[in-house]
């Protein structure tokens, strides 16, 4: 049945992988961080009304932390290259 539907439609979401635009891989981090922040805040909330501000704070914290980790990794990488060349 799926094969017949496939022939009829040509492209079916979830059956055929969707291509990502070039350079999108890095930015795909942001929605994932938002999902993690939301679920984490849900586990600590009494009601949904508490969520927007708390989720935003957690999201910003995650993104800032990941940026700092990326900068630190870049500095270490550049340092290793610099000293290994010298």
Partner 1 sequence: MARKNDPLMKMAPAGILAWILPGAGHYFLGQRGLGIVLFVTISFAYGVGLAVGGVKNSVNPRANGWLFLAEMGVGGYTVLGYVVSERLPDYGVKEPSPYVSYYPESDVAQIYLAIGGLLNLLAILDALMRAQTGGAPVFYLEAERSSQPKAEETDQ
The residues that touch partner 1, with contacts defined as CB under 8 A, are 1-3, 13-20, 25, 28, 31-32, 35-36, 38-40, 42-49, 51
Pick 43 or 84: Cβ nearer partner 1: 43
Pick 15 or 81: Cβ nearer partner 1: 15
Closest approach of partner 1 to the CB of residue 65, in Å: 16
The Cα 66–Cα 60 span in angstroms is: 10
Give the CA dihedral 45, 32, 66, 27, nearest 10 degrees.
-140
């Amino acid at each position: 049945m799926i094969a017949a539907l496939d022939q009829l439609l040509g492209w079916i979401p979830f059956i055929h992988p969707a291509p990502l635009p070039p350079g999108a891989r890095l930015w795909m981090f942001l929605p994932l961080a938002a999902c993690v922040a939301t679920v984490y805040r849900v586990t600590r909330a009494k009601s949904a009304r508490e969520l927007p501000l708390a989720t935003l704070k957690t999201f910003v914290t995650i993104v800032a932390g990941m940026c700092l980790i990326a900068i630190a990794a870049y500095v270490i990488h550049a340092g290793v290259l610099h000293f290994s060349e010298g």
